[in-house]
Structure 1
Amino acid sequence: MQRWPCKHPWKMDGSGCALYFFPDIALPPSPTCVMRMNIAVIIVLVVSALIAWKIYDMAARPMPPSMLYPLVPPTAEAPEFRDTVPSEAFFREGFAKNGLAGQWDFFRTQLRPEIQMLVEPANESSFLPGQSKIGGQPDLPAGMAWFTEGNGNHLSFIAQINLAEVRSLDTTGQLPSTGILYFFYSTEYTGGYDILDKDKFRVYYYDGDSSSLLRTHFPYDLGEYSRYKPCRLRFRPSVSLPDRDLDYVSARLNGEESRNYYDVTKNYYTGTNKLLGHSDNIQNPMELECEMVTHGIYLGEPSGFNDPRLNEMKKNSRDWILLFQLDSNDEAGMMWGDAGMLYFWIKKEDLRQKKFDRCWMISQCG
């Protein structure tokens, strides 16, 4: 029986592979033709899968700030501090005018240098990698995950401080001269009066290669109210005196002197965003609270102060110093309770050894 080729034989890459027909019966393609067809299909599927994976990988991977944003230097125009800068001379004059001249020699020794911060709203694109900021998106080391609470909820990023920017203002040399301090805080308001609050904040110190920093996007499950607006920081040196409610302060002052001391130390704008110095308390002094809570004493009720270790802890509380104080900043959309503040504390020896994971945080509000 004669076989008739179809009018337009099907050929693959010139191999002569054709589909022939009997007058009424179609013959299947040869095994060689089928194999080559299958190989072609497999190649198409593999290439498509590789392209899809590459697109997904590029979308999911954090990109360096130089690719995400045009890196432009900070604006040359910057707002000025418009309030009184506390200094030793400022306080000495205040003591003399308020009947406290006899106390000056002691309190002069209690002055602490601090670094105040002026907050200025800014666009995310205006920040260089690792530049100090409040709010916005952090510049984390490559491969580092966003910090979370123990339950897996993401913490809010609140600040990163490039210590090289404040090195010349740290007159006591307490801070590392290089590196970046990162501060994260829970969207669930916590006072810091329970050791179980340890996962509600995080202080992280990085002193590695700045070229590995990546501007990290907000986690998808972090609510809008937990994403703070970026603000640039300007720094200035200042000094501060201790709160009048601290035991060693109140023991030296009678009633009238205590009121006058309050007027001298609080009757000026203190620059409530700051590093180091004495804390600007809204409520009680916090040094003893830090010592007690980190020893497992719950301070959510007054009975915690009945602990038999109290006297020893009062002595040790002098080891705690303020590391970072952050106010409720409208510019960044930050509100801590009822116009409160966050206070990050650290022991002197832990600061010297750069053990920032041992910090403790307490929040206060009016």
Structure 2
Amino acid sequence: MTSWRDRLSALARERLPAELASAWAALFRPGIRLVSAGEGPRVGRLGGAPMLPAEAEWPEWPGRGPLDFLAAVDCAALPREFLSIPLPEAGTLLFFYFDGDRREADDTPLLEDVEGSRVVFVPAGVPVAERAAPDGVVPYPGRDLFGEVVATAPEREHLLLEQTVTASGVSLAEAAEEADLPPDYPGTDVFGELVWQQHGKGPHHQVGGFAAPVQGAVEKEIAAAVLGGYRDPRLAEEAARWVLLAQIDSDDEAGMIWGDAGMLYWVIRTDDLDAGRFDRARCTLQCG
């Protein structure tokens, strides 16, 4: 059986100096890529109508309107041996977001607009029924999602690139800057380029693992929003407390376009994740 990390490890050995490739590969984490066809288990659904308890209210952004339902993930169906985060053994995670472009509204949630997105957890055994979208909300086309295990890795300004020291005594970020790399892989961007080569054509929907940022590290972005700026001396400490819960990519087939063909990321503090406080997850959008 081929290891989930083999392809990315091979790319790293091909493109990077041996010491740099070895140090970076040691950080790989498995992620569960959510694809619309594949050999893996059915793990959820993109778009369509959510299954909600009768007493549950449809999430909304106060003053703007109801959120759009994006995806459902069945925790029991995920390949648990490859989960990098401690999700419940059963139950369903529902992801909502206010899609201002689709609604022809002027508002798109910013990081400080914490109610512009929501993660709802429905425990196993709770009676649920398909819920029609509120007036003014047009559901995205629904389709099943299947789980595919992929290698994920820190890239584009992730803290671990600065904190992981190679055998030569310099950080991964410094080693990448100093390495003799192909001209189309400048500096630490080489890590992001290798991850995208491994993943191939999108969309790159995913649960757990490292985020695949369009711009900088999403953990730093969230930490800066929490602390009030990137200059706060506690930035690294705060960023280290956050992990990726899920990412939902732009997806033409589903009618999901985030900004300029960007990506939505839900991240959550590790203590909230351990306690099952999914309502405290934060969402950020990155695009080109």
Q: What does residue 93 of structure 1 align with?
A: 10
- Residues 1:135 and 2:47 aligned together: yes
Q: What does residue 163 of structure 1 align with?
A: 75
Name the structure where strand makes up a greater proportion of residues. 2
Q: CA deviation digits over 1:219-267, x for unaligned, max 9?
A: 1232x3xx21101101111211111333514233225453654443332
Q: What does residue 269 of structure 1 align with?
A: 199
- Residues 1:198 and 2:114 aligned together: yes
- Residues 1:154 and 2:76 aligned together: no
Distance 1:87 1:159 in 2: 25
Deviation at 1:169, TM superposition (A): 5.0
Deviation at 1:279, TM superposition (A): 1.1
Deviation at 1:207, TM superposition (A): 0.7
Deviation at 1:158, TM superposition (A): 0.6
- Residues 1:217 and 2:142 aligned together: no
Q: What does residue 114 of structure 1 align with?
A: 31
Distance 1:330 1:294 in 2: 32
Q: What does residue 250 of structure 1 align with?
A: 173
Distance 1:146 1:104 in 2: 47
Q: Would you identify which runs of 4 or more consecutive aligned residues in structure 1 move more than 6 Å?
A: none
User: 1:279 is matched by which residue type in structure 2?
Assistant: A
Q: What does residue 176 of structure 1 align with?
A: 88
Q: Provide closer, same or farther for how the CA distance between residues 99 and 290 of structure 1 changes in structure 2, counting only shifts above 3 A.
A: closer
Q: CA deviation digits over 1:286-331, x for unaligned, max 9?
A: 1112112134x2xxxxxx334xxx2212222112111101011122
Deviation at 1:341, TM superposition (A): 0.8
Q: TM-score, normalised by structure 1?
A: 0.65
- Residues 1:361 and 2:286 aligned together: no
Partner secondary structure for residue 248 of structure 2 = strand
Partner secondary structure for residue 351 of structure 1 = helix
Distance 1:363 1:313 in 2: 20
Q: What does residue 293 of structure 1 align with?
A: 225
How many percent identity over aligned positions? 25
Q: Provide closer, same or farther for how the CA distance between residues 114 and 221 of structure 1 changes in structure 2, counting only shifts above 3 A.
A: same
Q: Provide closer, same or farther for how the CA distance between residues 178 and 208 of structure 1 changes in structure 2, counting only shifts above 3 A.
A: closer
- Residues 1:305 and 2:215 aligned together: no
Q: TM-score, normalised by structure 2?
A: 0.81
Contact 2:93–2:119 (Cα < 8 Å) also in 1: yes
Q: Identify the range of structure 1 (310-319 vs 323-332) with the bigger mean alpha-carbon deviation.
A: 310-319
User: 2:230 is matched by which residue type in structure 1?
Assistant: F
Contact 1:190–1:363 (Cα < 8 Å) also in 2: no
Distance 1:220 1:319 in 2: 38
Aligned residue pair count: 257
- Residues 1:315 and 2:231 aligned together: no
- Residues 1:327 and 2:249 aligned together: yes
Q: Provide closer, same or farther for how the CA distance between residues 178 and 289 of structure 1 changes in structure 2, counting only shifts above 3 A.
A: same
Distance 1:321 1:312 in 2: 17
Q: What does residue 339 of structure 1 align with?
A: 261
Distance 1:170 1:152 in 2: 38
Name the structure where helix makes up a greater proportion of residues. 1
Q: CA deviation digits over 1:72-106, x for unaligned, max 9?
A: xxxxxxxxxxxxx9832223322222242112332
User: 2:153 is matched by which residue type in structure 1?
Assistant: L
Distance 1:213 1:363 in 2: 30
Distance 1:182 1:221 in 2: 20
